[in-house]
Amino acid sequence: MVSVAALASLALTAAEVEQRIVKTEGGQLALVVPKGWPAPETRFNSRGAPYYRFAPADTNFEFLLYFNYPSPRRTNVLADSGLEGFLKSSLSSLTKDSVEPHRFGARKDVAYAWFTDRVRKPGEFYYFTRGIRLIGTNVLEFSLFSNDSSPMSNALAVVESVRISGGGNEKK
């Protein structure tokens, strides 16, 4: 069932969104996405850790979700108060510009930061956003690559809509 909070965040009507289920090793993620978004593709990074990619056709963005990502950045020791510091640290290797993390969501439990690629190569995206949300003891990281800022509100609302079930992880 689509939550009222998720609809308000997406600024779309119930007819314009749908719920998706993503099965992971640590449970399953229920999330609300705009209807035009395809099913997520499961991909694996160079260390074999899975992530979930949404790349709607005929758009200029790509959205990635990482759930309980086994990261060398020690996300398992994060507290809500440390989300901004985590983002600054993790983005410092990607840009020389300072990044200013922001909070989002009804509970302000999503932290994100973005910057532009001023020296991008042809075919690369102009904006890069990285964010993180703690859901109980679970960590949900996301990345958004885009050529304009229009996908940002929907991507943040999708992150806010995530609910975890299975594996003893009943969290909102």
- Per the CB < 8 A criterion, the answer to whether 162 and 33 are in contact is no
pLDDT in tens, 120-166: 788 888 888 999 998 887 889 999 999 888 888 889 999 999 998 87
pLDDT, averaged across the chain: 81
Average pLDDT of the residues in 69-90: 73
170: its two tokens: 């009943």
pLDDT in tens, 1-17: 344 344 444 455 666 88
Domains parsed from the chain with CATH numbers: 36-146 (3.40.1000)
> What is the Cα–Cα distance from 73 to 118, expressed in whole angstroms?
26
Measured from the Cβ of residue 33, the count of other Cβ atoms closer than 10 Å reads 24
> What is the Cα–Cα distance from 94 to 112, expressed in whole angstroms?
15
- Per the CB < 8 A criterion, the answer to whether 81 and 92 are in contact is no
> What is the Cα–Cα distance from 112 to 119, expressed in whole angstroms?
22
The pLDDT-based confidence of 36 (bands split at 50, 70, 90) is confident
